[in-house]
Amino acid sequence: MSTLISSRRHFLLSSAGLTCLADVNQAFAAPVKQTKEAPEGAASGVALAPPQKQPEKLKIPVKATKQLGWAIVGLGELALNEVLPAFAGCELSKPVALVSGHPDKARKVAEYYDIEQDAIYNYDNYDKLAEDKRVDIIYIILPNSMHAEYTIRGLKAGKHVLCEKPMSVSVEEAEKMVAAAKEADKKLMVAYRLHYEPFNLRAMEICRSGQLGKIRTFASTNGQNVQAPNIRLSAKLGGGPLGDVGVYSINAARYTIGEEPVEVFATAQQPKDDPRFREVPESVAFTMRYPSGVLAHCDCAFGMAESRFYEVNGTKGSLRMQPAFSYRGLRLHLREGDPKSNTAEDQELLLQAKNHFTEEMDHFSRVVLNDESCRTPGEMGLADMRIVKALERSIETGLPVKLEA
């Protein structure tokens, strides 16, 4: 039983005992004469009715004086089921435009979210967003193969861009995206939503603090069972498990270990008896080695029951996130102490969950409004693409691949 649970039980028992003792003392106490000025319950020393004056800590919602307008590019499952509903919780962000190749669907979505019909664009007139003063930020939610083109065009249109991960399908594309942002003097952020939600933020904090001691190993799995047809199964559209879900493990290793890998090795499985995997691997397993000697062991797959976790092991303790990469329901466990001396303690850290997309979008709006630096810039996406491409070279050659420092 964890210390947290034991402490809570002790507190409850102690509180109950003190309450009973207080009741006994009160029963034998001399009556206290109440005055008109005394609030109800003052005779017992406890005010029963709330004060007329509002408590100082009571937070009263205040509408933001400025909300930035967002254009959502691509109206697939992620946009419709997660991103657009998340605007309801935003303080600084609102949807004002849509870009889609399906006009009927776009009109229905626009009507539902009170988006003006003249703010519906398609991929042919996408560049006209430059003339739309309602739009401050573009959110690219397209197949991976289209990320670079529409990010660069959006930046050239004078808009800030949030691009879904993986950032691109090649290092060269990622480099061009970063260069385009600098040339346009606009912000480019990659949608690593886990950098904006409480559980992964706490994991980062624990690892940076040294609470686990020296980190020795990192392990992670991110897999799901993808059914055809699905863009994730198309090589032409930039599919495959490594870039799509493996990048979560790559990025989590970075923000827990705090280093960049110097060498990687990978192997892939592409079964011939499953037509889903004619073009992309079913699963990829890989290892990354870091300057301090830390080893990361990861795997990702599109043909397995859903499993999404990571574990960080140090000399003084370990932490485990499971699930780690899902949109909701994340759980974080911390283990510290020495099992041999009976000092080991396991505890689940209970945090207030938040909508990943709401937090992510308002962060970017705040960055744009205040001209700040974002937590997950294009350079981070570029760094991940260099690792992904090194892993792909390792699969092709069957050999470890070194990365430049």
Active-site choice (139, 248, 255, 290): 248
319 and 223 belong to one structural domain = yes
Give 202-238 pLDDT, tens digit per residue.
Answer: 999 999 999 999 999 999 999 999 999 999 999 999 9
pLDDT at position 42: 53
Q: Which of 194, 219, 242 is the last residue of a domain?
A: 194
358 assigned to some structural domain: no
Per the annotation, the verdict on 248 as an active-site residue is yes
Region 165-182 average pLDDT: 98
310 in a structural domain: yes
Least confident of 58-62, 303-307, 349-353: 58-62
> Which residues lie below 8 Å from residue 266, measured CB to CB, with a gap of 6+?
242, 284, 285, 286, 287, 391, 392, 394, 395
Same domain as 85, residue 178: yes
pLDDT score for 101: 97
CA distance 233 to 56: 55
Active-site annotation holder among 165, 186, 187, 389:
165
Q: List the domain range (segments joined by +) for residue 118.
A: 68-194
Given a cut of 90, is residue 5 above it in pLDDT?
no
pTM summary value: 0.84
Q: Residue 332 is inside which H or E element, if any?
A: strand 332-336
Looking at the domain assignment, is residue 36 inside a domain?
A: no
165 part of the active site: yes
* Gap between the Cα atoms of 188 and 344, Å rounded: 44
CA R_g for the chain = 26
Show which of 150, 168, 194 is a domain's final residue: 194
The partner residues of 303 in beta bridges, in order of sequence, read 225
| In the predicted structure, residue 6 carries a pLDDT above the cut 50 | no
- CA 10 to chain CA centroid, Å, is 36
Q: Which of 178, 194, 210 is the last residue of a domain?
A: 194
Q: Domain with 329 in it: what CATH number?
A: 3.30.360.10
